[in-house]
Amino acid sequence: MNEIKAVLVDDEKNTLELLEWQLQTYCPQVKAVALCTNADDGIAAIRTHDPQLVFLDIEMPRKNGFELLLSFPEPNFEVIFTTAYNQFALKAFKFAALDYLLKPVDADDLMVAVTRYEKHRRNIDFRTQLDILLQQYQQPRALPGKIPLATQEGILFADPHQIVHCEASSNYCVVHFADKTKLILSRPLKEMEDLLLPFNFLRVHHSHLINLSHVKRYVKADGGFIEMSTGDQVTISRQRREMIVEILMKKL
């Protein structure tokens, strides 16, 4: 088992000590080499210890987590954020596709986050992800110009307006774009729905999510389906057909 050096940064000492204990107990491969109660100490610890992983709280007095990260233009470490519950904060993390843990940290969530890090270990476009996260924190009601879609090769930053529809395929999600290209993601359709609903998307079937801006027409035949701008035909739920048609009439 390869040891993972980690720096823990949080202005609450009790939170730091609990997280260190949880790592020792549930993720022994992660060794906390420094516990820091402010951003300046965190910056110094990262430079001294060169960790692979940083557990970072964003909301800290004097200097926050963003300012800490901006001290490293080309970070060679991964970040798992720790945060108290906030609807805008969670939306920001989803838009940026960055890992986070809600405080108080749940042991199962911690193990999942560490396992995900071990599987992927990538620093691809972290600066772009951080920019999206920062934008969402500063303007929580604004929508980002692009959203990150994590693939096996890395992260594609896509214009949501160019996504025509998404369909569930077993444990995967197939994203269909306006140029008729496709992208297969290892994430459930529900996660894409949460990410895309603010961009005028609608779940029309348990397996289909559509961009209302790309709807071409609704066809009653064969139980009802929607033809998209690409010519793709999307099945709609029989149980929800009347409601969906009503929404289409209002939004289109």
Q: What is the CATH number of the domain that holds 189?
A: 2.40.50.1020
Domain match, 133 and 38 both: yes
d(CA 222, CA 136) in angstroms, rounded, equals 43
Query: Does a structural domain hold residue 125?
Result: yes
Domain match, 170 and 108 both: no
Give the chain's mean pLDDT.
85
pLDDT band at 70 (very low <50, low <70, confident <90, very high): confident
Domain match, 126 and 24 both: yes
pLDDT in tens, 100-111: 888 889 999 999
d(CA 98, CA 221) in angstroms, rounded, equals 43
Q: Is the pTM of this model over 0.85?
A: no
pLDDT band at 163 (very low <50, low <70, confident <90, very high): very high
82 beta partners: 57, 101
Q: How many domains does the chain have?
A: 2
With contact defined as beta carbons under 8 Å apart, do 53 and 5 qualify? yes
What pLDDT is recorded for position 17?
94
Measured CA to CA in angstroms, residue 50 lies from 3, 18, 30, 78, 189 at distances of 13, 23, 14, 11, 37
Domain match, 167 and 81 both: no
pLDDT band at 221 (very low <50, low <70, confident <90, very high): confident
- Over range 6-16, report the average pLDDT: 94
